[in-house]
Amino acid sequence: MNKQDILMVGVGGQGTILASDILGEAALAKGLDVKKTDTLGMAQRGGSVTSHLRIGKKVWSPLISPGEADVLLAFEKLEAARWVNYIKPDGLVIINKLAILPLSISLGTQRYPDDQEIIDSFRQRTSRIHLIDGTKQAGLLGDIRTLNIFMLGFLSHFLSINFDPAIWKQAITKQLPAKILDINIRAFEKGREVASSVSL
Amino acid sequence: MNTVRKLLSGNEAIAQGAYHAGILVATAYPGTPSTEILENLALYKDIYAEWSTNEKVAMEVGLGASYAGVRTLVSMKHVGLNVAADPFMAAATTGIHGGLVVISADDPGIHSSQGEQDNRHFAKLARVPMLEPADSQEAYDFIQVAFDLSEKFDTPVLFRITTRVAHSKSVVELDDERVRQGRTKRFHHNVEKYVMLPTHARIRVPHMHKRMDELTDYAETTPLNQLIEGNDRIGIVSSGVGYEYAREVFSDATFLKLGMTYPLPPKMLQQFAGKVKKLFVVEELDPFLEENIKILGIHVEGKKHLPRFGELNKSAVHHAAVQIGTTSHSSKTSEVRPLKDLPGRPPLLCPGCPHAGAFFILSTIGQRNKILDASGKSKKESKLIITGDIGCYTLATYPPLRAMDTTACMGASIGQAIGLEKAGVSSDIVAVIGDSTFMHSGITGIVDAVYNDAKITVVVLDNGTTAMTGHQDHPGSGISAQGCATNKVSIEGIVRGVGVSDVQVVNAFDVKSVRSAIRSALDNKALSVVVVRGKCAVANKGRKNQRQVDLEKCNDCGVCLMIGCPSIQKKDGKLHIDAMTCMGDECTVCEQLCPKKAIVPSAGKVNR
């Protein structure tokens, strides 16, 4: 079977780690080997968050190496831009169309890159780039905090490992409190649905 | 007994393994990347788990429990073992009764620490055995072996992990129940073993050396050390997470995978060296294995080709493989680089952080924030020197606050402030320390300041929790590690009790009070303490009336941006406050500081 190296990135508070936990649990339930490692730095809130998830028959290194990520799933544009060198040739890039401005932008000492620059930087490696408005979709579902699960649903459509819908549901149920479960399952399904209407 | 399959972090696996090994006592002080071990153990109601005041106390409590015959786990981060070194060395000398395992969680690459150190040296220094797991399965398995080893050889066992093992999740097959193992609970009076008078210590030391000889024999045959047959052109000796990278890079090599990295097995290593044409050591941080193998007279290479600091990774090991000629250059496509000058996202104090107001005030005294340049240096001495400490508040070092001049180790702010004052600097000196850090090792500093009549100001930033490591309770919080209400130690009570007369306690979110308290403390040319108290923003659940900027009143003076609050942003030349993150009525620091009264509750009148 295919090994899959999936890098998920975002800003603290966006649910990056939770999304990769769910995919990790799904892979575990499918009987695969899984390694997952997160880097958070020191910030409680608002810092860069990266989660490395590796799935396969046997996984050694917990870290994904530069040039080897099959997928980059980014919840914020600037965070996506940092990982260009990690995506493998022809890898899949999914970016949520959201800018969370670091303080240096407000203080006017630095500049936030525009969308075209970010896309062009990824084009050095791949043309499989989706820039999607996940925050808007999550908002339409009734809570923008479902962004991470919407994005995960979107990603699930493109994964080369095929997970049974029951496995997804079980993994989401295991990781989320009951009172927000329904809306998140709807977010996951919405993500899948939006992805299936995209051709690439 | 059945087994179950779970995806666990190294820390979770250690907690489960220790529980299944029958521990009854667990102690720790929070510290990244070790914190989750005790957090997970605290969930079991049939063991005793405590957040100790600091790592030294954790080790002493652990040693006492071990003397009572109880299996005990003591966990801490790498620098925690510096604090606990005294009782750790003592434990190595007296030996134990119930199995005693000490976790050192090292932080290669300094993800969240004040420095990098390789604590494998502590095993050699203390003459104790050391185990090093490479993933969560080994963490679960090895911790159980560690308790057996401890009791068999009458020694504490050093269990060394690194951030990448502690915080990575991998698949673990584990037992689904706990079988109580270990000795009978009882203290056996034995002064020659437990009372370290010189006469007794001189009896114990030869025991330690004999123990190391026996452990060396054990190392030769233990399944903790594994031979993995492969190609004889190169033999790799490795341990910990370095092994995982090496297995991917040297996929067909012969491996000696060491789970027990002190003492080493000399015969096994000699035989291994004889089997292969070239011997190479893959290890993170110091050349610990390499040097100890060289002492055995075996020719080996390692750090000549691998980094001596920072976190190891597959690319670095691959680079080494190319250098030693076992791998050709990769045929990967040309290097791709991210865009130049991407703005960083340095960690900041959270929106609604109770420390922000106090730091804003400190940053403006003597115009510190203007005197210091972008790199935090200055040609002249500021009117105010701020010695800092370890916690979230260390982040006030970054612009725009720049309100910290030193940070060394837990509790150092007070001693450093005393030293600066006694050396005779002309500036005012403020030591800034958090509540949990104050309990950990600020108290002895305060006693020193009283005794030696230090003319300094100590600001204790009390947010009621050990915030940076993820909100653990501490002696001042009134709640135990296992979630029970307990005695609450009062910071101002301690300070007054040791003889400080100028003590003020102020509300962190009342900017005027904080300012006048700090001003009066600085004006008082004697020892002053200001406790700035406010709930940690992350623990603060209530959140209403988020603030917004009335752009008609705003004259773009930029004062609010100098607080460094992540909610206050400037987009297309206009200020706005992010309603998703603003803490509203719980904070209001920006509203109080705005000279134009342009920051108002969102319910108020605002032109959009």
B5, B110, B161, B169: best to mutate for the A interface, most A CBs within 10 A: B169
- Judge contact between A10 and A47, C-beta under 8 A: no
Same-domain pairing of B430 and B447 = yes
Domains of chain A: 4-196 (3.40.920.10)
For residue B571, what pLDDT is reported? 83
CA diameter of chain B = 83
Determine whether the interchain pair B338/A121 forms a contact, defined as Cβ–Cβ distance below 8 Å.
yes
Q: How many angstroms separate the CA atoms of B401 and B485, rounded? A: 37
DSSP state of A68: -
Q: For B466, which residue in chain A has the nearest alpha carbon?
A: A44
Determine whether the interchain pair A35/B168 forms a contact, defined as Cβ–Cβ distance below 8 Å.
yes
For residue A46, what pLDDT is reported? 76
Q: Evaluate whether residue B211 is within a structural domain.
A: yes
Q: How many angstroms separate the CA atoms of B363 and B514, rounded? A: 13
Q: Is B135 on the interface with A (CB under 8 A)?
A: yes
Determine whether the interchain pair B467/A117 forms a contact, defined as Cβ–Cβ distance below 8 Å.
no
Q: Is A76 on the interface with B (CB under 8 A)?
A: no
Q: What are phi and psi of B479, to 5 degrees?
A: -130, 140
Determine whether the interchain pair A125/B392 forms a contact, defined as Cβ–Cβ distance below 8 Å.
no
Q: Is A10 on the interface with B (CB under 8 A)?
A: no
Determine whether the interchain pair A28/B351 forms a contact, defined as Cβ–Cβ distance below 8 Å.
no
Q: How many angstroms separate the CA atoms of B418 and B457, rounded? A: 10
In this complex, the residue of A41, A66, A112 whose CB is nearest that of residue B111 is A41
Q: How many angstroms separate the CA atoms of B38 and B17, rounded? A: 12
Q: Evaluate whether residue B347 is within a structural domain.
A: no
Pairing mode, if any, of strands B168-175 and B3-9?
antiparallel
Ramachandran bin of A140, using left for φ above 0, alpha for ψ from -120 to 50, beta for the remaining angles: alpha
Sheet of B253-258, strands arranged across: B225-228, B253-258, B231-238, B279-282
In this complex, the residue of B341, B347, B569 whose CB is nearest that of residue A101 is B569
Cis peptide upstream of residue B400 (ω within 30 degrees of 0): yes
In this complex, the residue of A11, A36, A82 whose CB is nearest that of residue B342 is A82
At which residue do the structure tokens 């003397």 appear?
B67
Determine whether the interchain pair B346/A117 forms a contact, defined as Cβ–Cβ distance below 8 Å.
no
Average pLDDT over residues A153-160: 95
Determine whether the interchain pair A62/B344 forms a contact, defined as Cβ–Cβ distance below 8 Å.
no
Instruction: State how far the alpha carbon of B10 is from the alpha carbons of A8, A58, A119, B29, B144, in Å.
Output: 21, 18, 37, 18, 14
Separation in Å, CA of A189 to nearest CA in chain B: 25
Whether the pLDDT of residue A162 is over 70: the answer is: yes
CA B194, B199, B205: angle at the middle one, nearest 5? 70
Determine whether the interchain pair A67/B467 forms a contact, defined as Cβ–Cβ distance below 8 Å.
no
Same-domain pairing of B428 and B329 = no
Pairing mode, if any, of strands B260-262 and B130-131?
antiparallel
Supply the DSSP string of A117-183, one letter for each residue: HHHHHHHTT-S-EEEE-HHHHHHHHT-GGGHHHHHHHHHHTT-SSPPPHHHHHHHHHHHS-GGGHHH
Domain termination site, one of B204, B221, B238: B221
Q: Collect all residues of chain A within an 8 Å Cβ-Cβ radius of residue B171.
A: 28, 33-34
Q: Which residues in chain B show pLDDT less than 70?
A: 330-334, 603-608
Q: How many angstroms separate the CA atoms of B346 and A48, rounded? A: 8
Cis peptide upstream of residue B263 (ω within 30 degrees of 0): yes
Q: Evaluate whether residue B85 is within a structural domain.
A: yes
Same-domain pairing of B217 and B324 = no
Q: Collect all residues of chain A within an 8 Å Cβ-Cβ radius of residue B111.
A: 39-42
Q: Evaluate whether residue B542 is within a structural domain.
A: no
Same-domain pairing of B25 and B109 = yes
**Cα-based torsion angle of the residue sequence B545, B548, B553, B555 in order, rounded to the nearest 10 degrees:** 140
Amino acid letter, B5:
R
Q: Evaluate whether residue B608 is within a structural domain.
A: no
Same-domain pairing of B23 and B123 = yes
At which residue do the structure tokens 């993820």 appear?
B470
Q: How many angstroms separate the CA atoms of B401 and B394, rounded? A: 11
At which residue do the structure tokens 């009342």 appear?
B510
What confidence tens digit (pLDDT) does each residue in A71-107 have? 999 999 999 999 999 999 999 999 999 999 888 888 8
Whether the pLDDT of residue A152 is over 90: the answer is: yes
Q: Evaluate whether residue B343 is within a structural domain.
A: no
Q: For B111, which residue in chain A has the nearest alpha carbon?
A: A41
For residue B334, what pLDDT is reported? 60
Same-domain pairing of B175 and B253 = no
For residue B335, what pLDDT is reported? 80
CATH code of B377's domain: 3.40.50.970
Q: For A42, which residue in chain B has the nearest alpha carbon?
A: B112
A:108-127 residues touching chain B, CB 8 A cutoff: 108, 110-113, 117-118, 121, 124-125
Q: Is A104 on the interface with B (CB under 8 A)?
A: yes
Q: Collect all residues of chain A within an 8 Å Cβ-Cβ radius of residue B242.
A: none
Q: How many angstroms separate the CA atoms of A155 and B399, rounded? A: 38
Closest CA to A68 of B455, B330, B109, B26: B330
Same-domain pairing of B491 and B586 = no
At which residue do the structure tokens 């996984």 appear?
A59
Residue B53: how many other CB atoms lie within 10 Å = 18
CATH code of B251's domain: 3.40.50.920
Q: What are phi and psi of B383, to 5 degrees?
A: -65, -15
Same-domain pairing of B41 and B157 = yes
Whether the pLDDT of residue A43 is over 90: the answer is: no
> Domains in chain B: how many in total?
4
Q: For B561, which residue in chain A has the nearest alpha carbon?
A: A107
Same-domain pairing of B371 and B242 = no
CATH code of B561's domain: 3.30.70.20
Separation in Å, CA of B340 to nearest CA in chain A: 10
Residue A13: how many other CB atoms lie within 10 Å = 18
For residue B605, what pLDDT is reported? 38
Same-domain pairing of B209 and B231 = no
Q: Collect all residues of chain A within an 8 Å Cβ-Cβ radius of residue B348.
A: 43, 46-47, 103
A25, A51, A63: best to mutate for the B interface, most B CBs within 10 A: A63
pTM, two decimal places: 0.96
For residue B604, what pLDDT is reported? 46
Q: Collect all residues of chain A within an 8 Å Cβ-Cβ radius of residue B338.
A: 81-85, 121
The alpha carbons of chain B give a radius of gyration, in whole angstroms, of 27
Domain termination site, one of B221, B243, B264: B221
Q: For A57, which residue in chain B has the nearest alpha carbon?
A: B171
Same-domain pairing of B276 and B300 = yes
Closest CA to B49 of B12, B470, B490, B58: B58
User: Per-residue confidence at A55, pLDDT binned at 50, 70, 90?
Assistant: very high
B:289-318 residues touching chain A, CB 8 A cutoff: 313-315, 318
Same-domain pairing of B260 and B313 = yes
The range of the structural domain enclosing residue B208 comes to 3-221
Q: Evaluate whether residue B463 is within a structural domain.
A: yes
Domain termination site, one of B485, B503, B533: B533
DSSP state of B349: P
A23, A65, A79: best to mutate for the B interface, most B CBs within 10 A: A65
Q: Is B64 on the interface with A (CB under 8 A)?
A: no
Q: Collect all residues of chain B within an 8 Å Cβ-Cβ radius of residue A38.
A: 167
Q: For B566, which residue in chain A has the nearest alpha carbon?
A: A103
For residue A42, what pLDDT is reported? 64
CA A122, A127, A130: angle at the middle one, nearest 5? 80
B:107-126 residues touching chain A, CB 8 A cutoff: 111-112
> Residue B83: which H helix or E strand, with range?
helix B78-83
User: Would you say how long chain A is, in residues?
Assistant: 200
Q: Evaluate whether residue B348 is within a structural domain.
A: no
B336, B535, B554, B578: best to mutate for the A interface, most A CBs within 10 A: B336
Determine whether the interchain pair B244/A62 forms a contact, defined as Cβ–Cβ distance below 8 Å.
yes
Q: How many angstroms separate the CA atoms of B300 and B363, rounded? A: 53
